[in-house]
Structure 1
Amino acid sequence: MDCQTNRKQDVKAKQNIKATVLQKDVGLFSGVCLIVGTMIGSGIFISPSSVLLYTGAVGPCLLIWTACGILAMLDALCLVELGTMITKSGGEYSYLLEAYGSIVAFLYTWTNTIVQKPSGLAIITLSFAKYASTPFYPGCTPPVVVTKCLAAAAIVVITGVNCFSVKLASYVQNFFTAAKLFIIAVIVGGGIVMLAQGKTENFSNAFDSPSLSAGAIGLACYSGLWAYAGWDQLNCIIEELKNPYRNLPLAILIAIPLVSICYVMVNVSYFTVMTVTEVLSSPAVAVTFGDRVLYPLSWIVPLFVVFSTFGAANGGSFASGRLAYVSAREGHMLQILSYISLRNYTPSPALMFNGFLAMCLIIPADIYSLINYINFAQWMFSGLTSLGLIVMRFTKKEVHRPFKVPIIIPALMVLVSCYLVLAPILHEPALEYLYCTLFIFSGLIFYYFLIYRKVKWVNSLMRPINMHLQLLLEVVPPQKIE
């Protein structure tokens, strides 16, 4: 009797033990909040002036914002097919690996893990720091050292939250998504009131602007698409998404149209109270709008912009850590980055690595050059991902596709990606693009020696480092579940 009782207790204990894998803790609501919360960050409060700079008038500016929303939706539909066909976290990395093999996938994770994702986190936290510190320096620009220290502190807090708990990170994301939708509603509501009062003079002759070159349109799209960036975040964590075949397409179909409508309406609101010149000269368009429309409650705008940027940084960190984790699991990054916290079931080494690189990139950061740098590389790989979807229609015909888009959509996205890569270079050549290209292909050197040849002394050097980091961080390799 005692033996039978002990056996039952052992079985029950085993059933209560979680496997050391990432847990499926993200539902539909949290998935929508992750996409919306990451897309609505600093972009809508920084990019309006940049988009307007290249378009020169209200009408073309609003058209660019609308076009960027459509492009985001089309690219996201391609990712829905890929995500429901290949249910691995890591987003584009996993799809490039399946479509082209190891080399292209490595170059993607090399570029994204080392530069793109940390740069994105650095940009967003710098925006957060700028808005958070401005009230303490009325009438002047906050010192650079203050904003950079505050941005570094934000990265530490965000990384800590994501390392501690997936559920806590989701709750933080949900809260800040609600906060940013509130401030968007306030700005849009203020704009509607202004329009009702007859404030339409800035919309007269809305399309009176110099003729736009292809390169200028491309650069305007760069800034607009930066504001939309984040529609692929759910693909990065699909292994943690409940019922991905249902929730991935639903979340994208809800989130992206919502964000697109918000962005266009927010820009309309800006133009109800500010001329083109005033928008271009304003260092913080949302704050200027608040000062003119919401006084004496104008202080709520910078407060909620701080919430918005913090939430976007949290969502970006959440997804970026998964890219480093998956690529390390496939042998394309340091082995320690594929380990999972034994206590919290989070990829804490990958999250810490992303946070550390972001803090390093804060030091020389210039927001607008980083935006161009990031988008140049991003659209190269985005075009390859869309092309990979077409390739796999022929090479992997037998794979089940719960969601299938017309092939014209990925073909269109390939053409758009080529345009967004080439047009800005031809219009305004800059060394950033050359540096970016050299950096991407420098990954081939590391791939040859560390992945293809597997140099023995590197493994011998990393083995004790991995062991000590594993003990220090209390992490273990992910468990394979049959």
Structure 2
Amino acid sequence: MSLVIWCLCGMLSMFGALAYAELGTLVPKSGAEYVYLYETVGPIPAFLFAWTSTVLLKPAQVSIIALSFGAYVVAPFFPNECEPPVLAVKLFATLCILLILFINCASVKWATAVQNFFTAAKLLALAIIIGVGFVRMCQGHVEYLDPRVTFQGSATNVFAYGLAFYQGLWAYDGWNQLNYITEELIDPYRNLPLAIIIGLPLVTLSYLLVNMAYFTVMSPEELLQSSAVAVTFAERTLGYFQYLIPIFVCMSTFGAVNGTLFTAARLTYVAAREGHMVEVLSMVHVKRYTPFPALVFTTILAILMLLPSDFETLVNYFSFAAWLFYGGTTATVLILRYKHPDWHRPIKVPLILPIIVFIASIYLVVAPIIDEPAVEFLYAALFILAGLVFYVPFVYKKYHPKFMDYLTVFFQLLFEVAPSHYVPE
């Protein structure tokens, strides 16, 4: 059933990405959900998204991937029966985030080069795992892939799959990343849908084949018990070359942190530019032309989230809040089709796709609460609504405390930043 969920998560991500492609070419501005909500249903939902995403979602995403990086860095030094020290995992996660911050602050070209290089490393690691899996299948190691056996014991309660989808969809998260930098894309009308149509089916196929490869080596129980599945797989199949896989996985997660921080800073920057965040976050470095304050802001929050949290708690927090807004944003496709049917749409997807994503988002928000009510979901909902405490006085009433001017000037001098319209292209 886990393989079925991997496949369904890929399909749902594809449908969501195609719906976003229509929005991205209809409203060709950076900022993704924030911009689409702002243009369609107004400033309050857009602000709540910006508040939730910049303070919770994006920092949590950076933290989650960095924790994976830390886990794979320390995993080779501890046998399977020994749990790696949590402090060591979080220390390496912090170092990863700080190094990525330095790269992104230094140069956009550096950040892009890092992304390209580490994506290539990721693909090589996947190719090795999938290749070994094919060899194992040809040797007859398919006892854990026999559908007559493997579907036994699967949950029959439909609401029980909510958290499973959270974990699967977390692995696909990033399908909307290009929409955060639409203004920086070359020929977005062509390249945005092309990246989606080519990228997501390949990602889905890769996830399926990698998990099938794992099942040629480990039982479902062993897979669940392993703190770093790829390391366990390598130990049992690659012999002297087993250390290649954790190295490649570390490179892969390092690249993922880089991409996430890159887009997270752009969302914070765009929200601040619209007056929905403090002014200094809308500024760029006068020499490097990078959104320095937004990068530092996201990094500080991501590191703070590493301190008390574990991987699953962060994923559940992230997924509940994220799919609340993903569903709302997908609904804007339907709203804009109704309100502005005459607008030119370079990409026009079948209406059934955003409808499926919208219905799925309702399930993903409600199902985990029904199946396993947890206080985390209440905290996440209250956190989203708490944004109104800041929206009413500072955005709607436009209250501007005097001391903020002094803080803005202080951080401008400290970070050497200025409003983007004062910085030459």
TM-score range, shorter chain: over 0.9
* Aligned match for 1:366, one of 287, 310, 315: 310
Give the corresponding residue for 1:258.
202
Is there any run of 5+ residues in structure 1 with no aligned partner, and where? 1-59
Give the corresponding residue for 1:5.
none
Tell me, yes or no, if the aligned pair for 1:169 and 1:314 is still in contact at 8 Å: yes
Tell me, yes or no, if the aligned pair for 2:71 and 2:228 is still in contact at 8 Å: no
1:141 is displaced (CA, Å) by 3.1
Tell me, yes or no, if the aligned pair for 1:123 and 1:365 is still in contact at 8 Å: no
* Aligned match for 1:394, one of 330, 335, 338: 338
1:223 is displaced (CA, Å) by 0.6
Give the corresponding residue for 1:285.
229
Count of matched residue positions in the alignment of Structure 1 and Structure 2: 420
- Measured on the aligned residues, the alpha-carbon RMSD in Å equals 1.4
Tell me, yes or no, if the aligned pair for 1:99 and 1:389 is still in contact at 8 Å: no
* Aligned match for 2:105, one of 152, 163, 182: 163
Is there any run of 5+ residues in structure 2 with no aligned partner, and where? none
* Aligned match for 1:134, one of 64, 75, 78: 75
AA aligned opposite 1:112 = S
Give the corresponding residue for 2:60.
119
Counterpart secondary structure, 2:61: helix
Is residue 475 from structure 1 mapped to residue 406 from structure 2 by the alignment?
no
Is residue 202 from structure 1 mapped to residue 132 from structure 2 by the alignment?
no
Q: How does 1:199-278 map to 2 (within 5 A)?
A: 199-204=141-146, 205-278=149-222
Query: 1-side partners of 2:289 and 2:209: how far apart?
Result: 40
Cα distance change on mapping 1:136 and 1:288 into 2, 3 Å: closer
Give the corresponding residue for 1:41.
none
Structure with greater Cα Rg: 1
Query: 1-side partners of 2:34 and 2:375: how far apart?
Result: 27
Question: What's the TM-score once normalised by structure 2's chain length?
Answer: 0.96
Query: 1-side partners of 2:94 and 2:226: how far apart?
Result: 26
AA aligned opposite 1:88 = K
Question: What's the TM-score once normalised by structure 1's chain length?
Answer: 0.85
Percentage identity across paired residues of the two chains:
49
Counterpart secondary structure, 2:174: coil
Q: How does 1:376-387 map to 2 (within 5 A)?
A: 376-387=320-331
Query: 2-side partners of 1:188 and 1:101: how far apart?
Result: 46
Is residue 99 from structure 1 mapped to residue 43 from structure 2 by the alignment?
no
Counterpart secondary structure, 1:340: strand
AA aligned opposite 1:401 = R
AA aligned opposite 2:22 = E
* Aligned match for 1:80, one of 21, 25, 31: 21
1:398 is displaced (CA, Å) by 3.7
4+ long deviations beyond 6 Å: none
Give the corresponding residue for 1:423.
367
Query: 2-side partners of 1:357 and 1:201: how far apart?
Result: 45
Counterpart secondary structure, 2:84: coil
Give the corresponding residue for 2:3.
62
- 1:369-416 deviation digits (Å, cap 9, x = unpaired): 111111001111011001111101122334321001111111111111
Cα distance change on mapping 1:434 and 1:268 into 2, 3 Å: same
Counterpart secondary structure, 2:150: coil
Query: 2-side partners of 1:210 and 1:199: how far apart?
Result: 22
Is residue 188 from structure 1 mapped to residue 130 from structure 2 by the alignment?
yes
Tell me, yes or no, if the aligned pair for 1:387 and 1:414 is still in contact at 8 Å: yes
1:137 is displaced (CA, Å) by 4.4
AA aligned opposite 1:377 = A
Give the corresponding residue for 1:342.
286
1:179 is displaced (CA, Å) by 0.3
Counterpart secondary structure, 2:56: helix
Query: 2-side partners of 1:368 and 1:417: how far apart?
Result: 19
